Chains A and B, each alone.
Chain A
């Protein structure tokens, strides 16, 4: 059993080692000096953070509802929430693109046109599209995490809170939510990590315009497509480092809070 377990860990170590051996410090430094890659780095940090905060904000009440209540259509909602997880990434991107550009009604009303002309907030092929593409997948994982979190918290304390004068909403806010903080951190971490790795939906829905909608996953693709394998590997390692830093930071935060 130990051998089987070790084989997977070994595979990950070998993959990372191969990347490290392939590149050199000079390639790495050259890559991070490129203004395009720097811009992609900061856009990645920004969009992943926004997508992860939005995911937690949506996933917490939704996970709670799915865990606690047997409302009409609950099973359907449960299935729908999982769809972004199983959907091929390109299909998700295509679906987002179609949603925003589908003409509706006799005057061919389009969501994107309305957002751009009336609200002044164009989405497609701009940074909000990156966030929305990342959010669509990241939120599904966050909902799963939050649902499991609330499944593990006994509803009895919320019941007692209701007998003491709370509404259901107050019982959620004052009793359930403070108990769920570990799950909230886990959901945020998972959502951030998922958003970091997102590529297909971003490529289709936000495009790959350098300095505008380019995030690090797109950079790897763009550098590969022009034969810059060294730069692609260097950026990949930056992404690996970012993921490790975020995971370690959040894990230590969890340990710090629990001690």
Chain B
């Protein structure tokens, strides 16, 4: 479960004000809203990469507002994927497990399980520079879910894919949802994508210049 209580975040000259939302455990929520509203900023704040100026962030009823990003147990797939160019696919999938003091055999088992789940077992020894868009998406997704996070944040993960690959990725995401029951927030502009995946919808329309900050808090979810 993820809950935001009156969260405000500063973004340059703008400010996201008093955002409150709640997604229940295992739910797949799609976050929509116009470009530039601050959806990415909100995800960054949830996973700890951006400070909130006010409010609290709760994951599984624990206040993680002041926690380091790595302690929040949140898997994050940014829009640009941000793969590690110097690492192989297997190293991506095992990356988070290395910092959770898992044994080498446990890491290896998990890496192969996740790779099989995402259909990238044949890519494990390859680098990531020459992967296709769909393959890169799967690697980024695998890296984010391998350590069994309690929350998964997907920032327009399918926006750069062609129609066919996107549909295949819809199936991958549905499979993850069914098998892992991980609470998910998925940012997208695509209403078909939202319809194909969402259990619930969030709509963000509150990024206003700070000098005309909204006076009435809005609640989503």
The 8 listed contacts between A and B (C-beta, < 8 Å) are A154-B80, A156-B82, A157-B83, A157-B84, A159-B49, A161-B84, A161-B95, A179-B85
Question: What does DSSP make chain B's interface, helix, strand, loop or mixed?
Answer: loop
Cα–Cα, bound, A161→B69 (Å): 9
A154, A161, A164, most chain B CB atoms within 10 A: A164
CA distance A175 to B85 in the complex (A): 8
Contacts A156-B78, A170-B99; A163 near B84 (Cβ below 8 A): no
The answer to whether B70 touches A164, judged by C-beta atoms less than 8 angstroms apart, is yes
Assuming A159-B44, A159-B82, A174-B84, what are 11 further A-B pairs, CB within 8 angstroms? A156-B82, A159-B49, A159-B78, A162-B69, A163-B47, A163-B49, A163-B69, A163-B74, A163-B75, A170-B99, A179-B86
- B96 on interface, CB distance cutoff 8 Å: yes
Is B28 part of the contact surface with A, judged by Cβ < 8 Å? no
Q: Which 10 A-B pairs have the closest CB atoms?
A: A165-B99, A178-B86, A156-B82, A165-B70, A164-B96, A157-B82, A162-B69, A163-B69, A163-B76, A160-B82
**Distance A162 CA – B84 CA, assembled complex (angstroms):** 12
Q: Which residues of A contact B39 (CB under 8 A)?
A: none
Q: Tell me the A180-230 residues at the B interface (CB within 8 Å).
A: none
Minimum distance in angstroms from A219 CB to a CB of chain B: 43
Asked whether any CB of chain B lies closer than 8 Å to the CB of A166, the reply is yes
CA distance A165 to B102 in the complex (A): 13
When distances are taken between beta carbons in the complex, the residues of chain B under 8 Å from A166 are 70, 99
CB–CB A164/B99 < 8 A: yes
A residues with CB within 8 A of B: 154, 156-157, 159-167, 170, 174-175, 178-179
Give bound CA distance, A156 to B85, whole Å: 12
Chain A residue nearest in CB terms to B50? A159
B48 within 8 A of A: yes
Which B residues between 77 and 99 are near A, CB-CB below 8 angstroms?
A: 78, 80, 82-87, 95-96, 98-99
**B72 an interface residue at 8 Å Cβ cutoff?**
yes
Chain B contact-residue range equals: 20 to 34
B100 within 8 A of A: yes
Partner of A167, one of B70, B95, B100: B70
Contact flags (1/0) for B93-111 with A, using CB distance below 8 Å? 0011011100000000000
Shortest CB-to-CB span from A130 to chain B, Å, is 36
Q: Which of A156, A164, A178 contacts B147 (CB 8 A)?
A: A164
Residues of chain B contacted by A178 (CB below 8 angstroms): 84-87
Q: Mark B51-85, 1 if CB is under 8 A from A, else 0.
A: 00000000000000000111010111010101111
Q: Which residue of B lies closest to A177 (CB)?
A: B86
Residues of A within 8 A of B76 (CB): 160, 163
For A168, give the chain B residue with the smallest CB separation: B68
* CB-nearest residue of chain B to A180: B86
Closest Cβ of chain B to A230, distance in Å, is: 51
Among B86, B87, B147, contact of A165 (Cβ-Cβ < 8 Å): B147
Give the distance in Å from the alpha carbon of A161 to the alpha carbon of B84 in the complex.
Answer: 9
Q: Which residues of A contact B100 (CB under 8 A)?
A: 165
Contact A156/B70 with A162-B49, A165-B96, A165-B147 known, Cβ cut-off 8 Å: no
Kindly list chain A residues whose C-beta atoms are within 8 Å of the C-beta of B48.
162-163
B80 partner, pick from A156, A161, A174, beta carbons under 8 A: A156
Measured between beta carbons, the chain A residues less than 8 angstroms from B82 are: 154, 156-157, 159-160
Name the CB-closest residue of A to B92.
A164
Question: Which of B72, B86, B87 meets A163, CB within 8 Å?
Answer: B72
- Could you say which residues of chain A place their CB within 8 Å of the CB of B99? 164-166, 170
Are B70 and A163 within 8 A (Cβ)? yes
Tell me the minimal C-beta distance from A232 to chain B in angstroms.
Answer: 47
Q: Cβ of B186 < 8 Å from any Cβ of A?
A: no
- Give the complex CA separation of A149 and B204 in angstroms: 37
**Is there contact, CB below 8 Å, between B70 and A175?**
no
